[in-house]
């Protein structure tokens, strides 16, 4: 936690900002959400129910701010033990990220980061209710467990998603390079049930799902003997692995042989399905020669605030 606080202090000093009102996570995914909450608590500030991405992406420049050509600098990285590096005038966001990731490696491969501060008017234009959405997903899974019903079915009903596949992981390939974990995972279908986005025929040992990832899952491709490969989902739609037994979310570091999972996809926010959004966060951004086709059963529904759903008077 000290590394994030040190990075924030470095940016405040560099920009001569003496006070601020709130903290916002760069993205809602993983530890980033908790780091923002802890940092806000340290400074005695609020955390906005929002983020800069509306999902998780591997690159710092894959944010709504960068879609609007807002630079990531001034920014700072710190190791929490007194070492920190500040970046103020890099040529572009891509080069800035390269330098910050190099700095992270120099600091021991674990560092906190603080990016370009924003004012209230810009904050109001960012994806809203990100924490509320994460809370609602967790609540749905927890309630399903207590009621002994399928958590995946309940989740997809609430979040306008699609069940892509149920099966067992039979292969995982990973390699770490320049701060990114790249690779693929292969799943074998269970023989007794169909796949929701396949032809509807019973799966067999010859039916597999191949998922490529780069810190986040990028695409899910159905492979059936004697048929052409079929893309079931692809970024910017969010492809998620859930433990088949209890609905627990699984990150790419959790993938291992024999794990039985459900693979689902959640609809991407509209900001990422525009021409500019697909350029920065769609298949081509990761070198995938595939076309984006949205998943889900209807239009994207913006997440509601927990206060709107459960606040006094509701």
- Answer yes or no: are the C-beta atoms of 278 and 286 closer than 8 Å: no
Query: Looking at residue 33, what DSSP letter applies?
Result: H
pLDDT at 102: 86
> Quick check: 41 and 105 in contact, CB under 8 A?
no
- Note whether residue 128 is domain-resident: no
Structural contact between residues 13 and 88, judged by C-beta atoms closer than 8 angstroms? no
The boundaries of the domain holding residue 279 are 150-286
Answer whether the bond into residue 236 is a cis peptide, omega within 30°: yes
254 with 186, same domain? Answer: yes
Give the whole-angstrom CA distance, residue 260 versus residue 244: 6
How many domains is the chain partitioned into structurally? Answer: 2
The pLDDT tens digits for 173-201 are 999 877 789 999 999 998 765 555 544 44
Q: Is residue 201 part of a domain?
A: yes
Question: Residues 37, 158: one domain?
Answer: no
Query: Over the stretch 130-185, which tens digit does the pLDDT of each residue have?
Result: 999 999 999 999 999 999 999 999 999 888 889 999 999 999 999 987 778 999 99
**Model confidence pLDDT, tens digit, residues 20-52:** 999 999 999 888 999 999 999 999 999 999 999
Measured CA to CA, the distance from residue 219 to residue 174 in angstroms comes to 15
Is the domain of 119 the same as that of 169?
no
Q: Does 89 share its domain with 195? A: no
* CATH value at residue 64: 3.40.1610.10
Pairing of strands 238-243, 249-250: antiparallel
Distance CA 46, CA 44 (A): 7
Q: What is the DSSP letter of 283?
A: G
Spell out a b/e string for 72-100, using b for 16 or more CB atoms within 10 Å of the CB, else e: bbbbbbbbbeeebbbbeebeebeebbeeb
Is position 133 within any domain?
A: no
Global pTM reads: 0.90
CA distance 302 to 87: 34
Query: Are residues 76 and 186 located together in one domain of the fold?
Result: no
pLDDT at site 107: 81
User: Residue 203 belongs to a domain with what CATH number?
Assistant: 2.40.390.10
């Amino acid at each position: 936690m000290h590394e994030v606080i040190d990075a924030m202090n470095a940016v405040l000093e560099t920009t001569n900002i003496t006070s601020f009102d709130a903290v916002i996570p760069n993205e809602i995914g993983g530890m980033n959400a908790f780091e923002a909450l802890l940092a806000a608590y340290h400074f005695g500030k609020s955390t906005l129910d929002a983020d800069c991405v509306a999902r998780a992406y591997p690159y710092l420049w894959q944010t709504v701010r960068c879609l609007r050509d807002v630079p990531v600098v001034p920014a700072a990285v710190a190791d929490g033990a007194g070492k920190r590096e500040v970046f103020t005038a890099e040529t572009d966001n891509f080069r800035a990220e390269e330098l910050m990731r190099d700095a992270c490696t120099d600091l021991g491969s674990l560092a906190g980061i603080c990016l370009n501060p924003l004012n209230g008017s810009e904050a109001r234009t960012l994806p809203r209710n990100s924490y509320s959405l994460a809370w609602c997903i967790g609540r749905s899974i927890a309630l399903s467990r207590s009621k002994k019903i399928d958590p995946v079915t309940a989740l997809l009903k609430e979040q306008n998603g699609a069940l892509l596949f149920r099966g067992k992981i039979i292969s995982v390939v990973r390699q770490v390079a320049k701060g990114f974990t790249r690779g693929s995972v292969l799943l074998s279908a269970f023989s007794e049930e169909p796949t929701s986005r396949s032809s509807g025929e019973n799966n067999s040992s010859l039916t597999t799902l191949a998922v490529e990832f780069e810190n986040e899952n990028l695409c899910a491709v159905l492979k059936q003997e004697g048929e052409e490969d079929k893309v079931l989902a692809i970024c910017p739609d969010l492809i998620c692995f859930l433990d088949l037994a209890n609905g627990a979310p699984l990150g790419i570091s959790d993938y291992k042989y024999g794990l039985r999972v459900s693979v689902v996809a959640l609809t991407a926010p509209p900001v990422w399905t525009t021409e500019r959004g697909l350029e920065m966060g769609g298949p081509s951004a990761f070198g995938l020669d595939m076309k984006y086709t949205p998943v889900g059963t209807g239009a994207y529904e913006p997440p509601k605030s927990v206060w709107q759903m459960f606040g006094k008077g509701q």
